[in-house]
Amino acid sequence: MTLKFNILDPVLLWPHGAPDAMGTRREDRPRLTPYLPSQATSCAAVIVCPGGGYATRAPHEGGPIARWLVSLGLAAFVLDYRVSPYRHPTPLGDAQRAIRLVRHHAPKWNVDPDRIGILGFSAGGHLAASTATLFDDGNPTATDLIDRQSSRPDFLIACYPVITFGEFRHHGSMINLLSEHYDEKMQHDLSLENRITDKTPPTFLWHTSDDQAVPVENSLLFAAALHKYNIPCSLHIFPHGRHGLGLAQNLPGSVSVWTRLCANWLREMKFLP
């Protein structure tokens, strides 16, 4: 059965101008595009972060992913976050703001504010995992009511993610995020296997063993750290598949089942009925 849904006009994260904006071009104005089920009941929501090495955002990891999520009965919000020449912490600030914004507008969009997750691919996976490990409870005295909301996602879905800036890093993503003048402390602090705590949300991870762009060790390191803190984690390593597969539909081999495995995990974790 195909569920009906509505694609709304993009919503600017900061209608009056984003912090540290370099101008007023489209790329200086981060936004969310809501994909909402036609159902009236409150549902879980997912912020979608396309990959692109922190240099661009891959279209096939945005809208098609949102449509798949809506087909499961979730609300989806594709995030156009800022990329190079913007550096850390700007993309993270955009993702945190996106979660606060969806949480603030949960009643209007028929979203459960306690079931808001984040999903990312490749460098977008690094952004999603950053959001899941580097969050705050909001500022209770902020004049902007959106900033009073927590930026912690309730679950994380990371697809062939960039995680580490150590031995197994994707160097281009690191340089685009940190610049060529990064220091060792920043390199360590944004290697996200080092940032997991007992408050990190439940996580679904998948990768291919022969990924030539982002080594599979990225997902393995993150999963091992999650296990250390007893965070629920579902990890799937497929034997073959190039980097950047997105939905991986109509491909030979086992990797095409990741969407079904993820849907089953979402049900098991009570984010889907």
- For residue range 37-83, list pLDDT tens digits in order: 987 789 999 999 999 999 999 999 999 999 999 999 999 999 999 99
pLDDT of residue 3: 65
- Lowest mean pLDDT across 2-11, 15-24, 207-216, 232-241: 2-11
Rounded to the nearest 10 degrees, what angle do helices 123-133 and 171-178 cross at?
60
Q: Which domains does the chain have, with CATH numbers?
A: 5-268 (3.40.50.1820)
The whole-number average pLDDT for the span 106-134 is 98
- Residue 188 pLDDT more than 60? yes
- Residue 144 pLDDT more than 80? yes
- For residue range 76-115, list pLDDT tens digits in order: 999 999 999 999 999 999 999 999 999 999 999 999 999 9
The whole-number average pLDDT for the span 159-187 is 96
- Residue 1 pLDDT more than 70? no
Average pLDDT, the chain: 96
pLDDT range class, residue 2, cuts 50, 70, 90: low
